[in-house]
Amino acid sequence: MDSFIAVKDDNTMKLNKISLAVLCAISLSQQAIAADTVPDENTKKENIETIEVKGSYIAGYNAHSASGASRLDLAITDIPQSVSVITDAQLQDFQLHDINAALDTATGVNVERIETDRTYYTARGFDITNFQIDGIGLPLTSGNNHADEDTAIYDRIEVIRGANGLMTGVGNPSATINFIRKRPTADNQLTVNGTYGSFNNTRLEADGTVRINDTFAARAVAVTQSKDSYLDRYQTDKNVFYVFLEANLSDDTSLSLSHSYMNNDATGNNWGALPLYYTDGSATNYDRSTNTSADWSNWQVVKNNTVLELSHHFNDDWRLRATYSHKTTDEDTELFYVFGTPDKDTELGLTGYGSEYDLDDKHDLIDMYVDGNFSLFGRDHQIVAGVNYSKMSYTDSSLYDYTTGNGFPKMPDLNTWDGNTPKPTFKDSLRGSDVSREQQAAYFTGRFNIVDDLHVIVGGRYNDWQAEGVSYEVDQEADYQKFIPYLGAVYRFMPELVAYASYTETFVQQDEVDIDNRFLDPITGESREIGLKSELFNGRLIASLAYFDVVQTNIAVLDPATEGLPIDLQKYYGSDGISSTGYEIDIAGEIYSGLNVSIGYTDFDIEGDDIVAAYTPSKLFKLAATYDFEAIEGFSVGMNMRWQDDISRNQGVVAVGFDNAGADIVTKQDAYTVIDLMAKYQITENLGLAVNANNVGDEKYINSLYWAQGYYGAPANYSATLTWKM
């Protein structure tokens, strides 16, 4: 793959035209290669292994299986947890090019956009921190995601709701997001997409597979995208490159090596967001384009991930899989924060706060397991047993300007501010972190066929977790051992209907510090879930209903006395206990000939933390639907919508000196709906055109009240995509 060339320009790696041209060149040898790699009919009959599959895979919004919940490749109806899959068809139909847009469509998932380039995710009232790639991964370093993560390298996204302590070891009882990467396809192919849309959104994407011979195959994806924004001064340039090399060393052994590279360069990004209330307690109402960034603000994030994977089949029943993953993140930023409370009449009273922040983050993970089938007492069973070692280390640093007068400027009226403020000289008060965390784990899962139609899944994971180092003058020393049990059962009442139940415990280390700058103890808890799942219309549609009951103790809660301070000065305390109970409905597949849908509804209540309960939408409805017109071949239309109920946040009380002194200040966001529409037409066998319209109702809403600040979602915007395949 040396032919893929990158050029370096102003310290930013960018894929040039040669990179994309090489992908196009893959197709030139397809016919010749195909002639060499297609075996004769007798050879195919001798080598093909016959596997009986119950159910079916629909190339739409239904997926037949998910492996992120237990390493057992089970049908979704056989997994004793609530599971949904965002398929490749759904990603393509609605141009869900980043994980925030994709997870907006996932049942029960709430995307908390607190800033332009930093995002939290929640489900069932708890933060989602476990993000896996092909079933392996570590919790996010800081509990949130930085920059724009592109979906072009992924085939689908599995969302396993509830606790997943069996596979991830540590994590909240919220959800695990498992990204399944693209691998070489059975045939040589090439797809090129070109998109242009509102805010000068220009994107070029190429995805190609080449099968060199029976042994070697490769797949590569390249993306380059630049766009302005509805926000003043905000612009992003993104480049993505991914290659997956596959070698079938023998009939029983395969080896793969893959690497992904993502460079997201943002300018005019905000750090923090808009103030949401005036000193008299009334709500602010800025224009959607208002941005707190300085004209020199920037945030560059470069992520690299290399994965080596070995798979060996001992026989038809037993397999070994070993994976090594090395992931790095390099962040360089110059940030500008705005804090304080403006006066309603003058719009003054805010202060700027400049900082230079750099981060180097490294994750190494080794995972090895065996899985197989065995017979006992005349029945067939499955088992997985494995070991896992991971190490995460990071260093970061923050610099400020306390000497030139530019580090903390008084702010003008944000309504008219153009971002023009002198750039600070970042040389003062160096602070930072040098932290490492290690985890050793052993896990097992057994799926036992107890009686006809009753399967019990029993498993557990032992975690030995250590941390050391210093973060912003606070010692990080920690040492925890924990066994996490898992128990689940699935009973099939009839061929189309199953009932399930599951139980697991949870364990999460915390990075938040208390008022004495000591890190809080880990979060512990229990998670229970029961539900029904059904396959309808000969397996073309899967529907599920789940009820969950979760309890956690010692969750970090922001100390109200520090709520208005910059992020690195905020303090927390451990709550006595937070519980979440509710239900979810998930429907995915083809409900009528040509009509594919993904429908999700979540309703739950949080007790134990009034702040979290108020800012978390407790009711979420998601709907994605496309219809292929039989009368017009190649033409389809669709709608993607999400609705959430009202949320609020108590911001304190009105200060002395106002007529309403002492009154509660409450920021409210009423219930709202965002609707996206699409239409596409296959012009020829190789050429297609798609048009997408987002937020067609031009709804104005605050993205999140997860923090005391916030900014508005994007107004109505449009794009057109031309797709060429061969």
What is the CATH topology of the domain spanning 58-725? Maltoporin; Chain A (2.40.170)
Checking if the pLDDT of 220 tops 90, the result is yes
Banded model confidence at residue 137, pLDDT cuts 50, 70, 90: confident
Instruction: Report the 10 Å Cβ neighbour count for 581.
Output: 17
Instruction: Report the 10 Å Cβ neighbour count for 557.
Output: 19
In DSSP terms, which residues pair with 492 in a beta bridge? 498
What backbone torsions phi and psi does residue 636 show, to the nearest 5 degrees?
-145, 155
Rounded average pLDDT over 225-239: 97
| Cα torsion 109, 110, 113, 118: sign | negative
Q: What is the dihedral of CA 104, 243, 155, 57, to 10 degrees?
A: 180
Banded model confidence at residue 38, pLDDT cuts 50, 70, 90: very low
Length of the chain: 726
Rounded average pLDDT over 612-640: 96
Checking if the pLDDT of 618 tops 90, the result is yes
Banded model confidence at residue 148, pLDDT cuts 50, 70, 90: confident
Q: Is 236 helix (H, G, I), strand (E, B) or coil?
A: strand
Dist CA 374 CA 719 (whole Å): 53
DSSP state for residue 78 in the 8-state scheme: G
Dist CA 684 CA 245 (whole Å): 31
Tokens coding 507? 């364990």
In DSSP terms, which residues pair with 725 in a beta bridge? 191
Please name the residues in contact with 285: beta carbons below 8 A apart, sequence gap of 6 or more: none
| Range of weakest confidence among 223-227, 367-371, 403-407, 503-507 | 503-507
pLDDT tens digits, one per residue of 426-481: 999 999 999 999 989 999 989 999 999 999 999 888 989 888 998 887 778 888 88
- From residue 581, alpha-carbon distances to 107, 113, 256, 525, 604 in Å are 16, 24, 42, 14, 5
pLDDT tens digits, one per residue of 76-113: 899 999 999 999 999 999 999 999 999 999 999 999 99
pLDDT for the residue 141? 60
Banded model confidence at residue 53, pLDDT cuts 50, 70, 90: very low
What backbone torsions phi and psi does residue 167 show, to the nearest 5 degrees?
-100, -30
Q: What b/e sequence results for 82-104 when a residue is b if at least 16 CB atoms lie within 10 Å of its CB, and e otherwise?
A: bbbbbbbbbbbbbbbbbbbbbbb
Is the separation of the CB atoms in 160 and 106 below 8 Å? no
pLDDT for the residue 324? 96
DSSP state for residue 274 in the 8-state scheme: B
pLDDT for the residue 88? 93
Dist CA 618 CA 616 (whole Å): 6
pLDDT for the residue 567? 66
Which amino acid does the sequence have at 726? M
In 3D, which of 646, 585, 572 has the Cα closest to residue 615? Answer: 646
In DSSP terms, which residues pair with 503 in a beta bridge? 487, 528
More confident residue, 514 or 53: 514
pLDDT tens digits, one per residue of 321-359: 999 999 999 999 999 999 999 999 999 999 999 999 999
Instruction: Write out the H or E segment, with its range, that includes residue 15.
Output: strand 12-15
Rounded average pLDDT over 564-586: 84
Which amino acid does the sequence have at 203? R
Is the separation of the CB atoms in 300 and 332 below 8 Å? yes
Which 3-state string (H, E, C) describes 455-500?
A: EEEEEEEEEEEEEEEEECCEECCEEEEEEEEEEEEEEEEECCEEEE
Banded model confidence at residue 514, pLDDT cuts 50, 70, 90: confident
Banded model confidence at residue 687, pLDDT cuts 50, 70, 90: very high
pLDDT for the residue 356? 97
- From residue 396, alpha-carbon distances to 272, 362, 425, 433, 511 in Å are 19, 12, 18, 5, 14
Is the separation of the CB atoms in 99 and 264 below 8 Å? no
What backbone torsions phi and psi does residue 661 show, to the nearest 5 degrees?
-55, 135
- From residue 166, alpha-carbon distances to 81, 391, 515 in Å are 12, 19, 34
Tokens coding 399? 């610099």
